Structure 1
Amino acid sequence: MSGLSDLGRFSEPAVLILVSLADGPKHGYAMQDDIAGLTGERPGPGTLYGAIRRLEERGYIEALATQDRRKPYQLTDSGRAALTLELERMRAVANTGLRRLAVA
C-alpha cells in the first residue's frame, strides 16, 4: 500500500475526508460540515470533490446509491488501513514534537 502521504499537497484533505467517513457514510455536504467542526475551516467544493475523486480512484472510499440527489461515500477496508497508518505516523511525529518542546 502506498499510503496517503504520496498524495502530496492533497494529503491533508484526504486524511480529513477519511476521518470524517470513519464513523459511517456521508455525502459531500455532511463531510464539509464534519470537517469544519474538526478543523474550524470548511473545505471548498473543488478541494473536497477533487480529494474524493482521488480517494475513490485509489479504492480508499466508495460511492453508495444516491439518496435524495446526494451521493454518500463510505470508507473501504483499504481506506481504513491507509487512515490507520497515516494517523499512527502523525501521532509519532506529534509525540516527538511535544517531547522536544518539553525539554527545550
Structure 2
Amino acid sequence: MAKKAFDGLTESMFYILMAFLKKEMCGIDVNSFVESITGGRVKLGPGTLYTILSRYEEEGLIEETAVEGRKRTYRITSKGIDLYHAELDRLKACVVDGESEATR
C-alpha cells in the first residue's frame, strides 16, 4: 500500500505546522517559535526549515501572504489545520499506548 503524503509527521514538521496556528510567520519567526516552545530541544537548520515550508506550500498546508525582499510570510490553511489536528490525535494515541504498556 502506498504511503499517503504527510502520514505521520516528523518532529520538526509537527512543530513547524504548530507555529502557524496563532499567527502568520516568516521562517525566522517559525524557527524562534520552535526553539522557544521546545526549550531548545528541537533545532531547525535553514535547509530543513525552508525545505519543509516549501513542501507545505506545495501541498496547500500553508500559503504565502507577503513578500518583503527575501522575507516571505505564510499562514496556515484549513487543510494544514486539519493535518495538525490529525497528527495531534495520532501522537496522543501513541502516548496512551506507551503509558499503558509501561504499566504492565
Which protein is richer in strand relative to its size? 2
Q: Percent identity?
A: 29
Residues 89-104 of structure 1 mapped to structure 2, 5 A cutoff: 89-101=90-102, 103-104=103-104
Corresponding residue for residue 29 of structure 2: 30
Residues 4-43 of structure 1 mapped to structure 2, 5 A cutoff: 4-5=6-7, 11-39=10-38, 40=40, 41-43=42-44
Structure 1 residues 54 and 24: CA distance shift in structure 2, 3 A: same
Structure 1: how far apart are the matches of 2:75 and 2:37? Answer: 18
Corresponding residue for residue 77 of structure 1: 78
Mark the runs of 5 or more structure 1 residues left unpaired by the alignment.
none
CA deviations 1:59-78 (Å, max 9, x no partner) are 00011112475211110000
* Structure 1 moving runs of 4+ over 3 Å: none
Number of aligned residues: 99
CA deviations 1:16-63 (Å, max 9, x no partner) are 111011111111001001001122232010000000011111100011
Structure 2: how far apart are the matches of 1:31 and 1:61? Answer: 13
Normalising by structure 1, what TM-score? 0.84
Normalising by structure 2, what TM-score? 0.84
Q: What is the RMSD computed on CA atoms of the aligned residues? A: 1.8
Which protein is richer in helix relative to its size? 1
Q: Which moved more, 1:34-43 or 1:87-96?
A: 34-43
Cα drift, residue 3 of structure 1 = 5.4
Mark the runs of 5 or more structure 2 residues left unpaired by the alignment.
none
Structure 1 residues 81 and 3: CA distance shift in structure 2, 3 A: farther
Residues 36-75 of structure 1 mapped to structure 2, 5 A cutoff: 36-39=35-38, 40=40, 41-67=42-68, 69-75=70-76
Corresponding residue for residue 88 of structure 2: 87
